[in-house]
Structure 1
Amino acid sequence: MAEWAADAALDASARSEDAPEGLSESFFGGLSEGLAARLFAAALTGPQRTVLRDSGDRVAWCGRPAITWTYAAAAEIVGRLARGIGAWRLPAGSRIGLWFSGGAESTLAHLAVEAAGHLPCAMPAVWDCAELSAGIESAGLVAVLTEGRRGARRPAEDLTRAAMRHFGLRYLAAFGPSVPDGVISLDAMALERGVVEPAPSRGLVTFAGGDPGRPVYRSAAALAAAIAAHLDALPLSADERILTLLPGHDLRGLVTGLGAALAAGAGLETVLPFDEAGFRAALLRPVPTRLVVPALVESAIAALPLPWTVRVLDVVHRAPARLTPRSAGLAGPQRLDSLVLGEALVLTRPGLEDLAATLAHPEDALLPRTLLDVGHGPAGGLGCRGAACAAQALPRSGNPETDPRAWRDSGYRLLLSGGTAVAVAAT
Structure 2
Amino acid sequence: MNQPAVSPTLDTLFQRTLMRQPHAPALLDPLNKARVTGHQPRRMTYAEADTAIEALSAHFVESGLPANSVIAIQLPATVEFVLTVLAAHRAGLVVAVLPLLWRHAELTAALNRTAARAIVTMSKVDGVSYSDLAMHAAAEAFSIRYVCGFGADLPEGMASLDDVLARPPGTTRAVIQDGRKAAMISFDVTAEGFRPVPRPHFSLIAGGLAMSLEADIKQGATVMAAFTPMSFAGLASSLAVWLLCGGTLALHHPFESDVLEQQINAHECEVLIAPAQLALRLGDADLAARMPGLRNVIGLWRAPEQVAASDAWIAPHAPLTDVYLFGEAGLFGARRGEDGMPVAVMPGPHGAPREQSGSSIAGEILLTPRGTLGLRGAMVPIAAYAPPQPVGDTLTAQPPRDYVDTGYAARLDRPSGAICITAPPSGIMAVGGYRFLSNDLQEWARRLGQGALLTALPDRLSGHRLAGRAQDNARAREALNELGLNPLMVEAFRDRSGPV
Please indicate the TM-score interval, normalised by the length of the shorter structure: 0.7 to 0.9
1:283 aligns with 2:259: no
Contact 2:304 2:324 in 1 (8 A): no
CA distance in 2, matches of 1:167, 1:209: 24
CA distance in 2, matches of 1:394, 1:422: 20
Larger Rg: 2
CA distance in 1, matches of 2:143, 2:193: 17
Contact 2:96 2:184 in 1 (8 A): yes
Contact 2:408 2:421 in 1 (8 A): no
User: Which residue type is aligned with residue 321 of structure 1?
Assistant: E
Taking a change above 3 Å as real, the CA distance of residues 108 and 367 of structure 1, as seen in their structure-2 partners, is farther
1:408 aligns with 2:392: no
Find the counterpart in structure 1 of residue 310 from structure 2. Answer: 326
Say which is worse superposed, 198-207 or 346-355, in terms of deviation: 346-355
Unaligned segments of structure 1, at least 5 residues: 1-22, 26-31, 396-402
Normalised to the residue count of structure 1, the TM-score between the two structures is 0.83
CA distance in 2, matches of 1:391, 1:57: 39
1:183 aligns with 2:172: no
CA distance in 1, matches of 2:313, 2:8: 40
Find the counterpart in structure 1 of residue 373 from structure 2. Answer: 382
CA distance in 2, matches of 1:218, 1:97: 14
Superposed displacement of residue 91, structure 1: 2.1
1:90 aligns with 2:74: no
Taking a change above 3 Å as real, the CA distance of residues 97 and 180 of structure 1, as seen in their structure-2 partners, is same
Which of 272, 281, 300 is the matching residue for 1:316?
Answer: 300
1:4-23 matched pairs, under 5 angstroms: none
Say which is worse superposed, 142-151 or 381-390, in terms of deviation: 381-390
Taking a change above 3 Å as real, the CA distance of residues 159 and 288 of structure 1, as seen in their structure-2 partners, is closer
RCO comparison, higher one (Cα < 8 Å, 6+) = 1
SS in 1 for 2:140: coil
1:297 aligns with 2:278: yes
Say which is worse superposed, 107-116 or 217-226, in terms of deviation: 217-226
Contact 2:279 2:297 in 1 (8 A): no
Which of 77, 89, 111 is the matching residue for 1:114?
Answer: 89
User: Which residue type is aligned with residue 301 of structure 1?
Assistant: L
Contact 1:290 1:310 in 2 (8 A): yes
Contact 1:36 1:198 in 2 (8 A): no
Superposed displacement of residue 47, structure 1: 1.2
1:131 aligns with 2:106: yes
1:151 aligns with 2:120: no
Instruction: Figure out how many residues of one structure are paired with residues of the other and give that number.
Output: 391
Say which is worse superposed, 218-227 or 246-255, in terms of deviation: 218-227
Superposed displacement of residue 129, structure 1: 1.5
CA distance in 1, matches of 2:280, 2:205: 31
1:220-369 matched pairs, under 5 angstroms: 220-285=201-266, 287-306=268-287, 307-331=291-315, 332-351=317-336, 357-359=344-346, 361-362=347-348, 366=357, 368-369=359-360
CA distance in 2, matches of 1:405, 1:264: 34
Say which is worse superposed, 223-232 or 53-62, in terms of deviation: 223-232
Residues 33-60 of structure 1, C-alpha deviations (whole Å, 9 max, x = no match): 3222322221111112222111232112
Taking a change above 3 Å as real, the CA distance of residues 24 and 248 of structure 1, as seen in their structure-2 partners, is farther
Find the counterpart in structure 1 of residue 22 from structure 2. Answer: 47
User: Which residue type is aligned with residue 340 of structure 1?
Assistant: L
1:63 aligns with 2:38: yes
CA distance in 1, matches of 2:44, 2:309: 37
User: Which residue type is aligned with residue 414 of structure 1?
Assistant: A
Residues 292-324 of structure 1, C-alpha deviations (whole Å, 9 max, x = no match): 111232442122232221101111112453122
CA distance in 1, matches of 2:216, 2:45: 22
Superposed displacement of residue 169, structure 1: 0.7
CA distance in 2, matches of 1:92, 1:394: 26
Q: CA RMSD in A?
A: 2.9
User: Which residue type is aligned with residue 425 of structure 2?
Assistant: A
CA distance in 2, matches of 1:296, 1:349: 16
CA distance in 2, matches of 1:127, 1:375: 33
SS in 2 for 1:232: helix
Unaligned segments of structure 2, at least 5 residues: 387-398, 427-500
SS in 1 for 2:263: helix
Find the counterpart in structure 1 of residue 425 from structure 2. Answer: 426
Find the counterpart in structure 1 of residue 468 from structure 2. Answer: none
Contact 2:182 2:200 in 1 (8 A): yes
SS in 1 for 2:228: coil
Contact 1:320 1:426 in 2 (8 A): no
Taking a change above 3 Å as real, the CA distance of residues 416 and 287 of structure 1, as seen in their structure-2 partners, is same
Superposed displacement of residue 363, structure 1: 6.8
CA distance in 2, matches of 1:231, 1:289: 13
User: Which residue type is aligned with residue 362 of structure 1?
Assistant: G
Which of 194, 199, 207 is the matching residue for 2:187?
Answer: 207
Contact 1:414 1:424 in 2 (8 A): yes
Contact 2:228 2:254 in 1 (8 A): no
Superposed displacement of residue 165, structure 1: 1.6
Contact 1:138 1:213 in 2 (8 A): no
Normalised to the residue count of structure 2, the TM-score between the two structures is 0.72
Residues 201-246 of structure 1, C-alpha deviations (whole Å, 9 max, x = no match): 5321111159993210011122222222332313323331111210
SS in 2 for 1:233: helix
User: Which residue type is aligned with residue 299 of structure 2?
Assistant: V
Contact 2:409 2:421 in 1 (8 A): no
